[in-house]
Amino acid sequence: MIEFRYPYVFLLFLLLLIYVIIKYIFSSKQKNEFSKWIDDRLKKKLFVRLNTNKIKLKNNLRIIAIIFLIFSASGPQIGKGLKKIERKGIDVLFALDISSSMLAQDIKPSRLEKAKFEINKMVKSMNGDRIGLIIFSGSAHLYLPFTTDYDAANLFINSVDTDMIRTNGTSISDAIEVSRESFFQSDNNKVLILISDGEDHEGEALSLAEEFKNNNIIIHCVGIGTKEGSLIPTYDENSNFKNFKKDMNDKLVTSSLNEEVLIQIAKITGGNFYRIDNINSNMKDLYQKINIMKKNTLNTYEYAQYIDRYQFFLILSIILLMIDFLTPTLKKTK
C-alpha cells in the first residue's frame, strides 16, 4: 500500500507538461525559420560535428529525471505491514425497513430519509463498535457486513432506497433471521436495532424474538411514522412524483405506524421501543443505552507502519542527470 506525504507536489507535473508543449512548439517554429534562411548544404557544414541523436537523448533523460525528482519530492511511503489495532466495542446491527410504506411523508421528508438521517447521526457518535446494515421489505438481505469503517458505512446508508428489493411487503421476521446468521459468526456482545413502521406481513417475528432472548441478544425497536398515517407516494423512473399507491380495489392506501408488534419484539428480548416523529427523536437515548453495555476487545488490522521510499526515486533522478551531463553531443573526429 502506497501513500504520499506531500501529494500536492504532483501539481508540478502539470507545469512540466506545459513546459514540454511550449518547448516543442518553439523548437518546431525555430527549425522552420532556420530552414528558410539556410540551405541544406550549409546546414550540414555548420552542424557536421553535432550528434542530433544524442541531443534528443539528453533532452529525454532530463525530462525523465525531472519526473523522478517530482515523484521523490511527493514523499512516497510504502506500507510495511498490517498493524493490530485493539478497540473496545460491541456488534451493532441495523435492520432498516425499505418497503414502499417507508416513502410515506407523515415524517418529513419521508420515513426512509428520516431513518437514514438518524442512523447516520448514531454512527458518527460511535467509537470502536462494529456496525452492519440489513435492508428488508418482502425479503431481507445483509447489505453491509460488520465494519469499523464509519465513513464507508455512511456511504452505504445514504445509498439505500426502496427499489433495492423488488419483493413487496414487510417481513420483519426475515430481517431478524438474517441478523441471527450474522450474529452467530461473532463472539462479541450483540444488539439489533430494528427500524420500521411496524407493518409486519409475515407474523413470525415474535417467535424469532424468543430465540434471540435465549441467546442473550437484545433487539431495540424504533418505530417511524404516525398513528394517523399517510398516503404512500409513487414515483416514475426519473424520481418524479406519479401518484399515490392504491390497493386492488383502486382505493388509496394509507400507511400507519404499528407500534404493537415492535413493542412486543423489544419487550421479549429485554430491549426498548423508541419512536421517531417530526418533533422528537429518541435515538440519542438509544445510543446511551447501547454505550453502557459491556464492551469486548475487538481486533482489527490496518496498514499503519509506513516507510519513506523517496530515496530510490531521488537516486534514479541523480543518475539520469549525471548521464545527461556526461553524454557528449559532438561526434568524434577521425
Digit-coded pLDDT (tens) for 2-15:
778 888 899 999 99
Same domain for 39 and 58, yes or no, is: yes
Q: Is the pTM higher than 0.75?
A: no
Domain that holds residue 164: 85-299
**Average pLDDT over all residues of the chain:** 85
Q: Comparing 18 with 2, which gets the higher pLDDT?
A: 18
Q: Give a yes or no: residue 135 inside a domain.
A: yes
Give the Cα separation of 266 and 258 in Å (integer). Answer: 14
Report the candidate in 105, 172, 106 with the shortest Cα–Cα distance to residue 138: 172
pLDDT tier for residue 123 given thresholds of 50, 70 and 90: very high
pLDDT digits (tens, 9 = 90+) for 195-204: 998 866 556 8
Same domain for 130 and 213, yes or no, is: yes
Same domain for 64 and 204, yes or no, is: no
Q: Give a yes or no: residue 272 inside a domain.
A: yes
pLDDT digits (tens, 9 = 90+) for 50-87: 677 888 888 889 999 999 999 899 988 876 655 666 67
Q: Give a yes or no: residue 113 inside a domain.
A: yes
The angle subtended at Cα 329 by Cα 327 and Cα 14, nearest 5°, is: 70
Same domain for 69 and 92, yes or no, is: no
Q: What is the mean pLDDT of residues 172-183?
A: 90
pLDDT digits (tens, 9 = 90+) for 96-109: 999 999 999 999 99
Same domain for 292 and 321, yes or no, is: no
Same domain for 247 and 103, yes or no, is: yes
Q: Give a yes or no: residue 80 inside a domain.
A: no
217 and 181 Cβ atoms separated by less than 8 Å:
no
Same domain for 230 and 147, yes or no, is: yes
Question: Is pLDDT at 149 greater than 80 in this prediction?
Answer: yes
Same domain for 65 and 104, yes or no, is: no
Question: Looking at residue 283, what DSSP letter applies?
Answer: H
Tell me if residue 244 falls in helix, strand or coil. Answer: strand
- Looking at residue 264, its pLDDT comes to 93
Same domain for 153 and 40, yes or no, is: no
Q: Comparing 194 with 285, which gets the higher pLDDT?
A: 194
pLDDT digits (tens, 9 = 90+) for 266-321: 999 999 999 988 877 778 888 888 888 877 766 665 555 667 788 888 999 999 99
- Looking at residue 184, its pLDDT comes to 77
Q: Comparing 300 with 136, which gets the higher pLDDT?
A: 136
Q: Comparing 96 with 29, which gets the higher pLDDT?
A: 96
Burial status of residue 44 (CB atoms within 10 A of its CB: 0-12, 13-18, 19 or more): exposed
Q: Comparing 55 with 31, which gets the higher pLDDT?
A: 55
273 and 223 Cβ atoms separated by less than 8 Å:
yes
CA 266 vs. chain centroid, Å, equals 31
pLDDT tier for residue 46 given thresholds of 50, 70 and 90: low
- Looking at residue 293, its pLDDT comes to 81
- Looking at residue 333, its pLDDT comes to 58
- Looking at residue 263, its pLDDT comes to 93
C-alpha cell at 240: 418524479
- Looking at residue 158, its pLDDT comes to 95
Task: Supply the DSSP string of 43-111, one letter for each residue.
Answer: HHHHTTTB-HHHHHHHHHHHHHHHHHHHHHHT-EEEEEEEEEEEEEE-EEEEEEE-SGGGG--SSSS-H
Cell numbers 551531463 correspond to: 325
Same domain for 144 and 54, yes or no, is: no
- Looking at residue 35, its pLDDT comes to 65
Same domain for 65 and 143, yes or no, is: no
Same domain for 94 and 39, yes or no, is: no
pLDDT more than 70, % of the chain: 85
Q: Give a yes or no: residue 333 inside a domain.
A: no
Residue 146 sits in a domain whose CATH number is 3.40.50.410
pLDDT tier for residue 168 given thresholds of 50, 70 and 90: confident
Total domain count, the chain: 2
